[in-house]
Amino acid sequence: MPHVIEESKSGRATCRTCRQKIEKGALRFGEETPNPFDAGQTSHLWHHLLCAAQKRGGILKPVLDVYTGEVPNRAELEAAIANPPASKSGGGPKAAFPYAERAATGRSRCIHCDEAIEKGALRVAVEREVDTGSFTRSGAGYLHPKCAVENTGDAELLVKVKLNSVGLSEADVAELTAALAQ
């Protein structure tokens, strides 16, 4: 099952964003994820719609656009997706991969050329898996925009990055477009 919006069936689910219970009958967003207990199967991480709009707007928006049911606070959700709150770490909310953002610090390194990505510079985040020895976890790997197309081999990368990048200004999009075209 892909990402989904549905009414909560029992009231036992907890929002993965705010850690509060999701009331029975309330609309909730289910983010599809691999089931860690059954290889090859999937399960959902549940979120309140507003929590998902604020923190997972990039993956909620396409699902919200095709949802045919009544959403009482749709305007508030659309506003939250368009103007996400700034995170405490300064990095902003994370969207589906790949996405672009401004580097919050100067500590990240490009996974393609291994050079530092300067604080405030545009960077492209792609999903990568890291083997820690006892388990494998997935997370963001960062690329300079000029390295991104070569590293991923994806000719449609710009389209995907624009779709998933929430909160970029028009100037940021223009800069990213020029850098990815190199």
**Angle CA 55–61–62, to nearest 5:** 140
Structure tokens, 10: 């029992």
Domains 4-82 and 99-181 share a fold: yes
pTM of the model: 0.51
Q: Model confidence at 157, in pLDDT bands (50, 70, 90)?
A: confident
Q: What is the pLDDT of residues 33-90, one digit of tens each?
A: 888 888 888 999 999 999 999 888 888 999 999 999 999 899 999 888 887 765 544 4
Structure tokens, 130: 């890291």
Q: Please give the pLDDT value at position 93.
A: 47
**Fold assignment, 99-181:** first zn-finger domain of poly(adp-ribose) polymerase-1 (3.30.1740)
Q: Please give the pLDDT value at position 27.
A: 94
Kindly report whether the peptide bond that precedes residue 93 is cis, defined as omega within 30 degrees of 0. no
CATH number for the segment(s) 4-82: 3.30.1740.10
Do residues 70 and 90 make contact, with C-beta atoms less than 8 angstroms apart?
no
Give the best-scoring range by mean pLDDT among 95-99, 123-127, 135-139: 123-127
Q: Which amino acid is at 143?
A: L
Please give the torsion angle defined by the CA atoms of residues 93, 95, 101 and 105, in that order, rounded to the nearest 10 degrees: 50
Q: Which amino acid is at 77?
A: L
Q: Edge-to-edge strand order for the sheet containing 4-7?
A: 4-7, 27-34, 42-48
C-alpha gyration radius of the chain:
18
Q: Please give the pLDDT value at position 90.
A: 47
Spell out the domain ranges in the chain.
Answer: 4-82, 99-181
Structure tokens, 45: 């991480």
How many helices, marked H, and strands, marked E, lie in the chain? Answer: 6, 6
**Angle CA 49–52–54, to nearest 5:** 110
